[in-house]
Amino acid sequence: MQAKNGFFINFIRLAGPFWNSENKGLIRNRTLALFFLTALQIGIAVVITQWSADLFNALEQHSMSGLFRQIGLLILIFTASMGITYLHLIVKRHLQISWRAWLTERVIGQWMNKGHQYQVLHIQTVDHDNPDGRIAEDIRISTEIAIEYSHAIFYSALLFISFSQILWAHSGVINIDLGLFTLPIHGYLVWIAIIYSVSASMFGWWAGKPLTTTTNIMQSAEANFRFGLVKARENSQAIALIHGELNEQRRFQHLFFSITEIYNRQSHAFANILLFNSGYSVLSMAFPILAAAPRFILGSITLGALMQSVQAFQQLSTAISWPVNNMAGIAQWRASVERVLALVKALDDLEQEIARPDPQRILLEKPDQSIMRLKNLCLSKLDGEVILCNVNAEINLGDRVLITGDAFTGARLFKAIAGLWPWGSGCIELPDSEPMYFMPPRPYLPDGTLHATICYPWPCETFSLASIQEALRITGLTQLLDQLEQFDNWESTLNPEQQQRLGLVRLLLYKPKWILLQEAFDSLSAEDEIAMFRLICQQLPDASLLTISHEAQVAVFHNKTIALEP
Within this chain, do residues 347 and 375 fall inside the same structural domain, yes or no?
no
Within this chain, do residues 348 and 385 fall inside the same structural domain, yes or no?
no
Within this chain, do residues 207 and 223 fall inside the same structural domain, yes or no?
yes
Within this chain, do residues 351 and 419 fall inside the same structural domain, yes or no?
no
- Nearest to residue 362, comparing CAs of 346, 376, 348, 383? 376
Within this chain, do residues 145 and 33 fall inside the same structural domain, yes or no?
yes
Please say whether the beta carbons of 508 and 541 come within 8 A: no
Report how far residue 480's alpha carbon sits from residue 472's, in angstroms, rounded to the nearest whole number.
Answer: 7
Within this chain, do residues 438 and 473 fall inside the same structural domain, yes or no?
yes
Whether residue 420 is contained in a domain is answered as yes
Within this chain, do residues 368 and 504 fall inside the same structural domain, yes or no?
yes
Quickly list DSSP for 411-456.
HHHHHHHHTS--BEEEEEE--SSS-EEEE-SS----SEEHHHHHHT
Q: What is the pLDDT along the chain (566 residues), one digit of tens a residue?
A: 444 457 888 888 888 889 888 888 899 999 999 999 999 998 898 888 888 878 887 887 888 888 888 888 889 999 999 999 999 999 999 999 999 999 999 888 888 887 777 777 766 555 666 787 888 888 998 899 899 988 888 988 888 888 788 778 777 667 666 666 676 777 777 787 788 777 777 776 676 667 766 776 887 788 888 888 888 887 877 788 778 888 889 888 988 998 898 888 888 877 877 777 677 667 766 777 777 777 777 777 777 777 777 777 777 777 777 776 777 678 778 888 888 888 888 888 777 766 666 667 788 888 777 888 889 888 887 777 888 888 888 998 889 999 988 888 888 888 888 888 888 888 988 887 677 888 988 888 888 899 999 998 888 889 999 999 999 999 999 999 999 999 988 988 899 999 999 999 999 999 999 999 999 898 999 999 999 999 999 999 999 999 998 888 889 999 988 888 76
Give the 3-state DSSP-derived string for 163-200, with helices as H, strands as E and coil as C.
HHHHHHHHHCEEEEECCCCEEEEECHHHHHHHHHHHHH
pLDDT at residue 486, rounded to an integer: 92
11 contact partners, CB below 8 Å, separation of at least 6: 142, 146, 337, 341
Within this chain, do residues 79 and 104 fall inside the same structural domain, yes or no?
yes
Whether residue 1 is contained in a domain is answered as no
Residue where one domain finishes, among candidates 355, 380, 401: 355
Quote the pTM value: 0.63
Within this chain, do residues 446 and 326 fall inside the same structural domain, yes or no?
no
- Nearest to residue 554, comparing CAs of 522, 507, 509? 522
Within this chain, do residues 399 and 538 fall inside the same structural domain, yes or no?
yes
pLDDT at residue 189, rounded to an integer: 77
| Ramachandran area for residue 425 (φ above 0: left; ψ -120 to 50: alpha; else beta) | beta
Within this chain, do residues 446 and 335 fall inside the same structural domain, yes or no?
no
Rounded to the nearest 5°, which phi and psi values hold at 299? 80, 15
Whether residue 460 is contained in a domain is answered as yes
Range of the domain at 425: 363-564
Strand partners, 388: 379
Whether residue 2 is contained in a domain is answered as no
